Amino acid sequence: MIYFDSAATSFQKPASVAAAMWEALASMSSPGRGGYPAAARAADTAFQCRSELAEMFGLKNPEQVVFTLNATHALNIAIKSLVPPGGRAVVSGYEHNAVTRPLEALGAKITVAATPLFDSKAVTDAFDRLVVPGTDAVVCSHVSNVFGFIQPVEEIAAICRSRGVPFIVDASQSAGVLPLDMEALGAAFVAMPGHKGLYGPQGTGALLCREDVLTRPLLEGGTGSQSIQQRMPDFLPDRLEAGTLNMPGIAGLLAGIRYVRRGGLEKILAHEKHLTQMAVQGLETLPGLRLFVSPGLRNQTGVLSLTAEGVDVENMGSALAERGIAVRAGVHCAPYAHRTVGTLDTGTVRISFSDFNTPEEVARLLRAVQGVLGRAF
């Protein structure tokens, strides 16, 4: 199988990730639950992982890094800490259901900054117009999971700061690919998965929290601290980390983060964009395809969506799978994005690259797509 679905989860991982997880299983218990060596090793690993994330994303205090199950879990905490039932939120036109479903569950009034694809100025202008006093939170994906559109979060953050509105960044598609400085942004929260661009295992994620922002736990229970008290602690990370931490997952995430930091974000992004450009150049020559591409990939990461005239996207995805090519077809848990671009009725076939893909794999992708289209027509 050739894997081009890294926007869902990275499949190929550094060998160090599996090795770290096995070591954790063999040598670590639970942090904060005892003074013996296995507990101490777990506590040290958890702190190292928090510290790496804090350094990587411009957060001064590692204790403000909260481990979560995934980005969806992190976004639920962030949104429900800021938006009360019936509150008001402004979101981009490219949000994932991990943002919009929690807001709908709160009965929030959602204002959508829907703008043309790959038009950064239009996004900035829309938020400038829509973020008004009384807005409880602004939520924006740094990169669209469907189209790879890099949204201008720095400009949106400046708008939020000027109006005293808390800003939540969904870094699901950018963590490990694009730089993000939380202190410079002044964001209230930054949410991310561990299992995509950070190359950690599934079941890992993180929520970065600004120190002066009040948080609301989704879960209550054991923390290993203040055990006599029957309320959750009022300090992070304990306030938001009920129950036993996933130490094999955190150890694997730490190894993945170190892989990314050693390789460098710029190098990884350049590699993924090079492969994307190769795919675009080949696909542009095939009949009946519509590619969603920013000129020169200027505002785009290594995520490419397409449709084929007269071909159902699900059928196309299945046909590619029969040829050993793994892509994602459908609406990608992001109906807002598809509605904004006009593909809600059809969905798209999404091709997404990672640091482990190669030009040879792209060449095989192009042959496979050509074969599918030849059969369709």
Mean pLDDT of 25-41: 92
Do 238 and 204 lie in one domain? The reply is: yes
Q: Is pLDDT above 90 for 376?
A: no
Instruction: Among 263, 287, 315, give the residue marking a domain's end.
Output: 263
CA 111/CA 88 separation, integer angstroms: 8
**pLDDT 10s digits, 132-176:** 999 999 999 999 999 999 999 999 999 999 999 999 999 999 999
Do 252 and 287 lie in one domain? The reply is: no
Do 215 and 234 lie in one domain? The reply is: yes
CA 372/CA 308 separation, integer angstroms: 10
Residue 28 exposure: Cα atoms within 13 Å on the Cβ side: 25
Name the pairing type of β-strands 303-308 and 289-292.
antiparallel
**pLDDT 10s digits, 44-97:** 999 999 999 999 999 999 999 999 999 999 999 999 999 999 999 999 999 999
Do 133 and 117 lie in one domain? The reply is: yes
Do 94 and 163 lie in one domain? The reply is: yes
Do 138 and 168 lie in one domain? The reply is: yes
Residue the block writes with tokens 């900054």: 113
CA 163/CA 132 separation, integer angstroms: 7
Instruction: Among 263, 282, 307, give the residue marking a domain's end.
Output: 263
**pLDDT 10s digits, 215-237:** 999 998 988 788 888 888 898 99
Domain of 85, in residue numbers: 15-263
Do 26 and 135 lie in one domain? The reply is: yes
pTM of the predicted structure, to 2 decimals:
0.97
Degrees (nearest 5) of the Cα angle 95, 316, 352?
45
Q: Are 62 and 257 in contact (CB under 8 A)?
A: no
Q: What share of the chain in percent tops pLDDT 70?
A: 99
Do 212 and 104 lie in one domain? The reply is: yes
Domain count, the chain: 2
Do 299 and 248 lie in one domain? The reply is: no
- Where residue 377 falls among pLDDT bands split at 50, 70, 90? very low
Backbone angles phi, psi at 237, to 5 degrees: -85, -10
Task: Kindly report the CATH number assigned to the domain that includes residue 320.
Answer: 3.90.1150.10
**pLDDT 10s digits, 104-143:** 999 999 999 999 999 999 999 999 999 999 999 999 999 9
Do 284 and 331 lie in one domain? The reply is: yes
Instruction: Among 243, 263, 283, give the residue marking a domain's end.
Output: 263
**pLDDT 10s digits, 284-315:** 999 999 999 999 999 999 999 999 999 999 99
Q: What is the pLDDT of residue 270?
A: 98
Task: Kindly report the CATH number assigned to the domain that includes residue 103.
Answer: 3.40.640.10
Q: Are 278 and 127 in contact (CB under 8 A)?
A: no
Do 174 and 241 lie in one domain? The reply is: yes
Do 317 and 201 lie in one domain? The reply is: no
